[in-house]
């Protein structure tokens, strides 16, 4: 992969992670957290989709790699919701 393709992949993962955080209603961290959450969501969402026998929906090809947009958002939202349940909410100050 070229450096430009890596940058595009990071941007797409960050957007997916931030959408998932807003869907789950839980946000800790900034841009780097959203990027990591997007990649974790892609792995988790793709695993769940394959285990359930669902087709791949809205894959974006970046270079020679496919990035599953919908499954990334779903997986990241599930992961973010689990993190919210484990960590709990902070009281308002």
Give yes or no for a contact between 1 and 63, defined as CB atoms under 8 angstroms apart. yes
**DSSP strands (E only) in 1-93:** 59-62, 65-68
- Can you state the percent helix, strand and coil of the chain, rounding each to 5? 70, 10, 25
Selection from 41, 11, 7 nearest residue 24 by Cα? 41
pLDDT at 85: 84
> Is pLDDT at 2 greater than 70 in this prediction?
yes
pTM assigned to the model = 0.82
pLDDT at 5: 87
CA distance 3 to 31: 19
Which residue has tokens 């790699």?
A: 65
What is the tens place of the pLDDT at every residue in 8-65?
A: 888 888 888 898 888 888 777 788 888 888 888 888 988 999 999 998 888 888 888 8
> Is pLDDT at 91 greater than 60 in this prediction?
no
pLDDT at 51: 93
Residues 6+ apart with CB under 8 A from 26: 80, 81, 83, 84
Position 89 confidence tier, pLDDT thresholds 50, 70, 90: low
């Amino acid at each position: 992969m070229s450096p430009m393709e890596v940058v595009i992949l990071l941007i797409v993962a960050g957007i997916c992670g931030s959408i998932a955080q807003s869907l789950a209603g839980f946000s800790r961290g900034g841009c780097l957290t959203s990027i990591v959450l997007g990649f974790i969501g892609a792995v988790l969402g793709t695993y769940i989709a394959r285990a359930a026998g669902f087709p791949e929906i809205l894959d974006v090809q970046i270079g020679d790699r496919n990035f599953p947009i919908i499954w990334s958002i779903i997986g990241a939202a599930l992961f973010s919701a689990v993190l919210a349940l484990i960590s709990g909410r902070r009281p308002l100050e």
